[in-house]
Structure 1
Amino acid sequence: MRSLLALLIMTLALAALCCCEKDPKDPSGSPGADSIKITKEVANAFVKRQKRSTLYERYFEYYKSPMEQMHERCENYPPCDYLSDQIGFSMAYNRFFGRY
């Protein structure tokens, strides 16, 4: 295990030395602002706009169902969360918060 770790550290050190070494005669070492710019077509291939959603979908993005609210309430209370792993969510919720 130690030999594998030593080999990994040596490989990373050599890779860092090779990547960080600069040639003072090579002017292409530092990229200019023009080399960073890309065209709109290339940028649009990576960035996709989100489609418009209906009113129904927007409603459910902002408002959670009552069952989901109960799950979050139980998850935020550690004894209920622990007990829900042991006996199930509905029984744990009933024990700590009453009937749903």
Structure 2
Amino acid sequence: MRSLLALLLVTLALAALCCCEKDPKRPSGSLSADSIKITKEVANAFVKRRKRSSPYEWYFEFYKSPLEQQHERCENYPPCDYLADQVGFALAYSRFFGRY
């Protein structure tokens, strides 16, 4: 029993030493802002802006359809938004704002 306990203590001590060992490459203390910056080339490698392929896509990026405007109007009015969750958008919108 004592040998098992001794073995367990030695294993725990070695695990603590391995986990608590400091990295010689990293200076002690907090990281500075310069150490986390990356260059533009590296950032652009994984953050690419999607190009618009047609004027149709460009137009609908800036102008919303009437139905989408109605959805936003209903979402911004809490009683309509709550009722839309219960009975649906069309009934909730007509209840609070009249017909389409």
Bin the TM-score by the shorter chain: 0.5 to 0.7
Label 1:43 to 1:67 Cα distance change in 2 as closer, same or farther (>3 A). Answer: closer
Identity of aligned residues (%): 69
Q: Quote the offset at 1:47 in angstroms.
A: 3.7
5+ residue gaps, structure 1, are: 1-13
Corresponding residue for residue 98 of structure 1: 98
Task: Identify the residue that residue 54 of structure 2 maps to in structure 1.
Answer: 54
Cα separation, partners in 2 of 1:43 and 1:86, compared to 1, 3 Å? closer
CA distance in structure 1 between the partners assigned to 2:93 and 2:38 by the alignment: 55
Cα RMSD between the aligned structures? 3.2
Matched with 2:66 is 66
Which SS does the other structure have where 2:99 is aligned? coil
Residue deviations 1:28-70 (CA, integer Å, cap 9, x gap): 435xx8xx877x5x66542434324311100000001111110
TM-score (norm 2): 0.56
In 1, Cα distance between the equivalents of 2:70 and 2:49?
34
User: How many Å apart are 1:22 and its aligned residue?
Assistant: 5.5
Segments of 4+ in structure 1 off by > 3 A?
Answer: 42-45
Looking at structure 1, the residues matched to 38 and 90 of structure 2 have their Cα atoms a distance apart, in angstroms, of 56
Q: Is the 8 A contact 2:74 2:80 kept in 1?
A: yes
- Greater C-alpha Rg: 2
